[in-house]
């Protein structure tokens, strides 16, 4: 069987490298082109020595990856907001599947993008074509997709955690408070003071309190799930760790719903899912147990004193929160087995 040829734009960033790492083990994919603005002309293994003797592809321009010469069937872009539209257009016009790991196609309402990302949609037709997909929630949309918006990492942990109770109408939607913590790779490979080792080591604090860019995306997914507009309180924190996200979500059940019913909602929603695992009663989701994998672990807890439901959702921000989910979306869109190339089991230590 002929292998699918993949191009990776932004291959030297953390999420871009993670995508390369995973695609190299995908039995039905061959990486045919990689690009980097910062390191164009160098070999990828020069930037990441762990690829020595494994992947020595030359880092090309973004334009090369989308050209006929590169001969890609699918192009992934791991770029900052505001850079993906022209790449998406070239892929769309040439019949290539385009998967954006950045934020350019995540928000349906341009007003939200203007408010939160301070940009505008220059090619509005492309945004009409784009399909947003957390696979467990939206896989049916992917069958004819040509532009896929890969979700944000925080958004994935929060929305997988909340979806079963939100979709069932079991929550008081005004009560949702989300406390999320992410490893430093979530900030990207670029240098910044808050991720400088002396600043983040032995430190722990919230950042972008109640104003993080993933907020409107969380609200968009959850509002669609419950059929009405809702707002959440979302506060992210920077963990002194390399990778992982754990989201602790506090919410109140509507009158008439008992905690004993809630577990059944999750079992029905995720019982057949390969990558979302509801933990046994009494267990707590932990980023250690999902490291390097495409898994999301969810645990449910009852605060009997206040009557609140507490949901804990943990995933690897570089895999299920970024590169692994992008491959999962590709697999579905290209009619491959959904878990192909994503079977890594987390290490114990």
Residue appearing with tokens 């987390």:
346
The answer to whether the Cα torsion of 155, 156, 161, 167 is positive or negative is: positive
pLDDT per residue, tens digit, the chain (349 aa), is 789 999 999 999 999 999 999 999 999 999 999 999 999 999 999 999 999 999 999 999 999 999 999 999 999 999 999 999 999 999 999 999 999 999 999 999 999 999 999 999 999 999 999 999 999 999 999 988 999 999 999 999 999 999 999 999 999 989 899 999 999 887 777 657 677 677 777 778 999 999 999 999 999 999 999 999 999 999 999 998 889 999 999 999 998 898 889 999 999 999 999 999 999 999 999 999 999 999 999 999 999 999 999 999 999 999 999 999 999 999 999 999 999 999 999 999 8
182 forms beta bridges with 238, 245
- pLDDT computed for residue 201 by the predictor: 77
Which CATH number is 4-129 given?
3.40.50.720
Is 200 a known active-site residue? no
- pLDDT computed for residue 203 by the predictor: 77
- pLDDT computed for residue 202 by the predictor: 79
For residue 315, give every residue at least 6 positions away whose Cβ sits within 8 Å of its Cβ, in sequence order, or none. 153, 156, 157, 160, 244, 245, 287, 290, 295, 296, 297, 321
For residue 123, give every residue at least 6 positions away whose Cβ sits within 8 Å of its Cβ, in sequence order, or none. 85, 86, 88, 89
CA 177 – CA 290 distance, rounded (Å): 23
Closest CA to 248 of 302, 310, 306: 310
Options 72, 153, 251, 296, the catalytic residue: 153
**Domain segments of the chain: what residues?**
4-129, 154-317
- pLDDT computed for residue 41 by the predictor: 96
CATH architecture designation of domain 154-317 = 2-Layer Sandwich (3.30)
């Amino acid at each position: 069987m002929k292998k699918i040829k993949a191009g990776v734009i932004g291959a030297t960033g953390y999420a871009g490298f993670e995508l390369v790492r995973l695609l190299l083990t995908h039995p039905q994919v061959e990486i045919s082109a990689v690009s980097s603005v910062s390191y164009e002309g160098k070999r990828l293994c020069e930037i990441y020595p762990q690829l020595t003797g494994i992947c020595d592809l030359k880092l090309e321009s973004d334009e090369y990856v989308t050209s006929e010469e590169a001969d890609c069937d699918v192009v992934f872009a791991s770029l900052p907001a505001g850079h993906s539209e022209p790449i998406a257009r070239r892929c769309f016009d040439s019949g290539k599947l385009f998967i954006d790991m950045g934020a350019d196609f995540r928000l349906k309402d341009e007003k939200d993008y203007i408010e939160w990302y301070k940009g505008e949609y220059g090619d509005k037709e492309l945004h009409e074509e784009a399909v947003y997909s957390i696979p467990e929630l939206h896989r049916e949309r992917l069958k004819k997709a040509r532009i896929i918006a890969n979700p944000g990492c925080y958004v994935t942990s929060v929305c997988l955690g909340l979806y079963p109770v939100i979709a069932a109408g079991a929550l008081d939607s005004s009560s949702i408070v989300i406390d999320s913590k992410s490893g430093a790779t979530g900030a990207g490979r670029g240098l910044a003071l808050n991720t400088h080792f002396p600043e983040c080591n032995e430190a722990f604090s919230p950042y972008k309190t109640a104003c993080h860019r993933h907020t409107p995306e969380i609200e968009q997914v959850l509002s669609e799930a419950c059929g009405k507009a809702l707002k959440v309180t979302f506060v992210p924190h920077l963990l002194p760790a390399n990778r992982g996200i754990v989201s602790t979500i506090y919410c109140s059940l509507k009158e008439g719903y008992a905690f004993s019913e809630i577990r059944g909602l999750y079992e029905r929603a995720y019982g057949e899912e390969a990558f979302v695992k509801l933990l046994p009663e009494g267990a707590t989701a932990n980023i250690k147990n999902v490291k390097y994998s495409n898994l999301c672990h969810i645990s449910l807890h009852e605060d009997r004193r206040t009557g609140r439901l507490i949901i804990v959702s943990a995933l690897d921000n570089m895999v299920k929160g970024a590169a692994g989910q992008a491959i999962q979306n590709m697999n579905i869109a290209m009619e491959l087995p959904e878990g192909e190339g994503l079977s890594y089991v987390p290490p114990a230590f």
